[in-house]
């Protein structure tokens, strides 16, 4: 049975898991339209994750994808963190706020989160996916034995090979165009920055497991191109952010549907890991700071505090406004309508 059959997909569209942006309502709407909906639970604890899985199940009986972050533990580097907070100090002051005294590790990696594993083995979601790395063999075997199909993001052939060797069932080929966090396993290592086209083709021709293309895909023509490159489906993130079912706030929606969508930038300043965002006041501030940010997700603790301070004063330009290079093609409409539109476009492409 192919993966598409196993997931009962009637259209080769995966909605990207988007921590903080995807919701049970969005995931269920995509599933009900014949695609694979997803929950981004990488920043949630096991209890919240279980609640979101159950809420999604109340809305759909179809399979969906539950996504987790498998990052290395951050260094608690006080001198570096103090220097970073000092560099952000002026921006906090502008919003009438103080930077935090110290940074916290605001969420755990699935690599060590036994409560999350136990919850997954209990809830048995149809699909579990990993971003930033791979869990150990014990976790992979346990999830397989629970009947979960496993996906992992790869940004290079080396990462894809590691995923295949670990027994992952399908690989999400994430090009440099993609919105949100780059799934690269080692954020401090060399990055080839392969685009979606080259990466998808490379992985589709070399991997023995199915490949899903991600990055800059916004419409039926993009999905068709991914299929032509040998992908079994396309994973779209940015395309779904302006749907009313997403958790994006008003400032993010306004930026995405206006002029600001024309410019994206890869930045580490917001969270400590490279991620593609709309160019805004935060990314410009990040480009002007010459000390390195703390490790992910500790830098994100500062980033979220800075955004909260400015948002309280009505300034939206410090939000983590993740978006891919295809952002100007975004369409704000309910997810069911967007799925119907994507399906029509895909079939119309010659
Ligand atoms: C707002 C946002 C949040 C994201 N969060 C996650 C996440 O939690 N887990 C994950 O695997 N990928 C995440 N991604 C990356 C997507 O899986 C995917 O690679 C990307 O959206 C594809 O590029 P596109 O946005 O141009 O469609 C996120 C992307 C966006 C735009």
Summarize the confidence of residues 284-310 as an average pLDDT: 98
Q: Is residue 253 part of a domain?
A: no
Share of the chain above pLDDT 90, in %: 99
Same domain, yes or no, for 295 and 262?
Answer: yes
Q: Is 271 in the pocket of ligand 1 (CB under 6 A)?
A: no
Ligand 1 contacts CB of residue 171 (under 6 A): no
Q: Give yes or no for residue 13 having a pLDDT over 60.
A: yes
Q: Are residues 56 and 152 in the same domain?
A: yes
315 Rama sector, left if φ>0, alpha if ψ -120 to 50, beta otherwise: beta
| Mean pLDDT value across the chain | 97
Do 168 and 317 lie in one domain? The reply is no
Give yes or no for residue 237 CB within 6 A of ligand 1. Answer: yes
Looking at residues 85-93, what average pLDDT do you find?
98
Per-residue pLDDT tens for 118-168?
999 999 999 999 999 999 999 999 999 999 999 999 999 999 999 999 999
Does the pLDDT at position 304 exceed 80?
Answer: yes
pLDDT at position 47, please?
A: 98
> Looking at the domain assignment, is residue 85 inside a domain?
yes
Residue 185, pLDDT above cutoff 90: yes
User: Does the pTM exceed 0.95?
Assistant: yes
Q: Is residue 229 part of a domain?
A: yes
The predicted-structure confidence for 331-342, as pLDDT tens digits, reads as follows 999 999 999 999
Indicate whether 209 belongs to any domain. yes
Task: Indicate if 350 and 285 belong to the same structural domain.
Answer: no
Residue 144 domain-assigned (yes or no):
yes
Residues 272 and 151 in one domain: no
Ligand 1 atom 13: the closest Cα is on which residue?
18
In a domain, 348, yes or no: yes
192 lies in the same domain as 136: yes
CA of 78 to the centre of ligand 1 (A): 30
Residue 252 placed within a domain: no
Mean pLDDT of 268-291: 98
Q: Domain count for the chain, please give it.
A: 2
Mean pLDDT in residue range 12-38: 98
pLDDT recorded at residue 110: 98
> Is 60 in the same domain as 126?
yes
Domain that includes residue 313, residue range: 76-106+258-329
What's the CA-to-centroid distance between 91 and ligand 1, angstroms?
27
pLDDT digits (tens, 9 = 90+) for 213-252: 999 999 999 999 999 999 999 999 999 999 999 999 999 9
pLDDT at 183: 98
Same domain, 240 and 346: yes
283 — pLDDT class (breaks 50, 70, 90): very high
Domain containing 47 — which CATH number? 3.20.20.70
Give yes or no for residue 14 CB within 6 A of ligand 1.
no
pLDDT of residue 349: 72
Asked whether residue 298 is assigned to any structural domain, the reply reads yes
Q: Are residues 318 and 264 in the same domain?
A: yes
pLDDT tens-digit map of 29-51: 999 999 999 999 999 999 999 99
**3-state SS track over the chain:** CCHHHHCCCCCCEEECCCCCCCCHHHHHHHHHCCCECEEECCCCCHHHHHHHHHHHHHHCCCCCEEEEECCCCCCCCHHHHHHHHHHHHHHHHHCCCCCCCCCCCCCCCCCCCHHHHHHHHHHCCCEEEEECCCCCHHHHHHHHHCCCEEEEEECCHHHHHHHHHHCCCEEEEECCCCCEECCCCCCCCCCCCCCHHHHHHHHHHHCCCCEEEECCCCCHHHHHHHHHCCCCEEEECHHHHCCCCCCCCHHHHHHHCCHHHHCEEEECCCCCCCEEEECCHHHHHHHHCCCCCCCCCHHHHHHHHHHHHHHHCCCCCCCCCECCCCHHHCCCCCHHHHHHHHHHHHHHCC
**Contacts (Cβ under 8 Å, ≥6 apart) of 151:** 65, 127, 128, 129, 130, 168, 169, 170, 171, 172, 212
CB of residue 276 inside a 6 A radius of ligand 1:
no
Please indicate, yes or no, whether residues 267 and 342 belong to a single structural domain of this protein. Answer: no
Q: Are residues 215 and 165 in the same domain?
A: yes
**Other C-beta atoms within 10 Å of 205: how many?**
10
Banded pLDDT at 325 (limits 50, 70, 90)? very high
pLDDT at position 350, please? 56
Q: Is the pLDDT of residue 329 over 60?
A: yes
Q: Are residues 179 and 238 in the same domain?
A: yes
């Amino acid at each position: 049975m192919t993966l598409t059959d196993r997931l009962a997909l009637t259209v080769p569209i995966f909605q990207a898991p988007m921590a903080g942006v995807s919701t049970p309502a969005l995931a269920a709407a995509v599933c009900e339209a014949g695609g694979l909906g997803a929950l981004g639970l990488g920043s949630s604890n096991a209890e919240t994750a279980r609640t979101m899985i159950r809420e999604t199940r109340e809305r759909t009986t179809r399979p969906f994808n539950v996504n987790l972050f498998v990052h290395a533990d951050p260094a608690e580097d006080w001198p570096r963190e103090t220097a970073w907070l000092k560099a952000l100090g002026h921006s906090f002051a502008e919003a009438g706020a103080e930077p935090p005294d110290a940074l916290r590790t605001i969420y755990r990696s699935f690599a060590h989160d036994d409560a999350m594993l136990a919850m997954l083995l209990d809830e048995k979601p149809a699909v579990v996916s990993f971003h930033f790395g791979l869990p150990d063999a014990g976790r992979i075997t346990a999830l397989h034995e629970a009947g979960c199909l496993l996906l992992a993001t790869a940004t290079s052939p080396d990462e894809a090979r590691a995923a295949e060797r670990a027994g992952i069932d399908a690989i999400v080929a994430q090009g440099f165009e993609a919105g949100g966090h780059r799934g690269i396993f080692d954020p401090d290592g060399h990055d080839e920055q392969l685009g979606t086209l080259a990466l998808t083709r490379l992985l589709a021709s070399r991997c023995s497991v199915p490949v899903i293309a991600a990055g800059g895909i916004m419409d039926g023509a993009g999905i068709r191109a991914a299929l032509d490159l040998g992908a079994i489906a396309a994973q779209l993130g940015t395309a779904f952010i302006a749907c009313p079912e997403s958790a994006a706030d008003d400032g993010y929606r306004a930026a995405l549907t206006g002029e600001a969508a024309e410019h994206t930038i890869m930045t580490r300043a917001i969270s400590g890991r490279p991620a593609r965002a709309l160019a805004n006041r935060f990314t410009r501030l990040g480009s002007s700071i010459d000390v390195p940010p703390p490790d992910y997700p500790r830098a994100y603790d500062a980033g979220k505090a800075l955004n909260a301070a400015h948002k309280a004063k009505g300034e939206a330009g410090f939000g983590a406004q993740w978006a891919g290079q295809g952002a100007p093609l975004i369409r704000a409409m309910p997810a069911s309508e967007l799925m119907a539109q994507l399906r029509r476009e895909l079939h119309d492409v010659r």
